[in-house]
Amino acid sequence: MNRSATVRLGIPVRKLTLGILIPFGVLLVMSAILLSVFVVNRLQDRALHEQQVTVRTLFDTEASLHLSLNGLTVLARNRGYERIWILSATGDILASSKESDIGSRLDERWWRRLEGRRSGFNQESVQFGDGTIMLTALHHAEMGRWVVLLSRPRSVLAATSLYLGLILAVSLILWLLLAALIWGTLKRRVTEPLKKLDERSMDVMRGNRLTEATLDRLWAETAPSLGGHADCFVDLARIARKSEEQSLETESRF
């Protein structure tokens, strides 16, 4: 008889571990993809809201018309904006984050998107060259003033890939920790107790007698982990031992 027969007839630890980890890994990957998309969408919404707040702040600040070139330039550079313009009602650039723009008229491709619009916010994505530009503008017809902000949004694919990579890296670490925990737990709580039962079953098959002390110790070491499996084995071993003792006693009488 193979020494590991009892273990093979018991719980297949490796298959059980993989059966837990593989579905969990697939679920983890799907969750990481959905989470990365959610994070990117949230960041985009936050960026759009931040641009609206910036435009509103510049519009409401009386000194915005007199902001120094350095102030708008620093703001645009720190926030990663392409351009900030403060315009008159006719499209003349009163202030800009780029000095060469001041005093000139806004380029027609931009002014056509703004001219004739009512007071309030205007935010839209505009195709510009090989990419897109997000235009955020605030207009007040009575005051005759425009505040326009241009920004280049991050590539959705690149941003999603970045966050997906980060989330997957963290998920992989968690998956490996879980794998180590499951493997260690199954080895300590299942494999080792089954090996002890395996050894004793081989002793029984070889005809070796197991003492009550040995069976008590075996039960104490395996029952907390294997429960009824250990109870059944120890009970059968005790029955076999008593049957053997009765047989020996009967033979001795005759």
Give the CATH number of the domain where residue 131 resides.
Answer: 3.30.450.20
Q: Report the domain count for the chain.
A: 2
Domain final residue pick, 102, 133, 154: 154
CA angle 129, 132, 133 (to 5 degrees): 105
Judge if 208 and 238 occupy the same domain. yes
pTM for the model: 0.53
Q: Looking at the domain assignment, is residue 88 inside a domain?
A: yes
Quick one: which of 138, 145, 120, 121 has its CA closest to 62? Answer: 145
For the CA atoms of 132, 146, 60, 119, what is the dihedral angle to 10 degrees?
Answer: -100
Cα–Cα distance between 229 and 11 in angstroms, integer? 11
Cβ atoms 215, 197 nearer than 8 A: no
User: What's the confidence (pLDDT) of residue 246?
Assistant: 66
Domain final residue pick, 115, 134, 154: 154
CB-based burial, 3-26: b 16+ in 10 Å, e otherwise:
eeebbeebeebeeebeeebeeebe
Domain around 138: 63-154
Q: Looking at the domain assignment, is residue 41 inside a domain?
A: no
User: What's the confidence (pLDDT) of residue 99?
Assistant: 81
Q: Looking at the domain assignment, is residue 1 inside a domain?
A: no
Domain final residue pick, 136, 154, 172: 154
Judge if 128 and 149 occupy the same domain. yes
Grouping H, G, I as helix, E, B as strand and the rest as coil, residue 87 is strand
The order of strands in the sheet holding 145-151 is 93-96, 81-88, 145-151, 131-140, 120-128
User: What's the confidence (pLDDT) of residue 43?
Assistant: 79
CA angle 143, 147, 148 (to 5 degrees): 145
Tell me how far CA of residue 211 lies from CA of 16, 194, 234, in angstroms.
34, 19, 11
Q: Looking at the domain assignment, is residue 3 inside a domain?
A: no
User: What's the confidence (pLDDT) of residue 197?
Assistant: 74
Judge if 99 and 124 occupy the same domain. yes
Q: Could you list the pLDDT tens digit for every one of the 254 residues in the chain?
A: 444 444 444 556 667 677 777 888 888 888 888 888 888 788 788 888 888 888 888 887 754 555 555 678 888 888 888 888 888 888 888 888 888 888 889 888 888 888 777 778 888 888 777 778 888 888 877 777 888 889 887 765 677 777 778 888 888 888 888 888 887 777 777 777 777 777 777 766 666 677 777 777 777 777 777 777 677 777 777 777 777 666 666 666 65
Q: Residue 124 forms beta bridges with which residues? A: 135
Judge if 190 and 212 occupy the same domain. yes
Q: Looking at the domain assignment, is residue 51 inside a domain?
A: no
Q: Looking at the domain assignment, is residue 43 inside a domain?
A: no
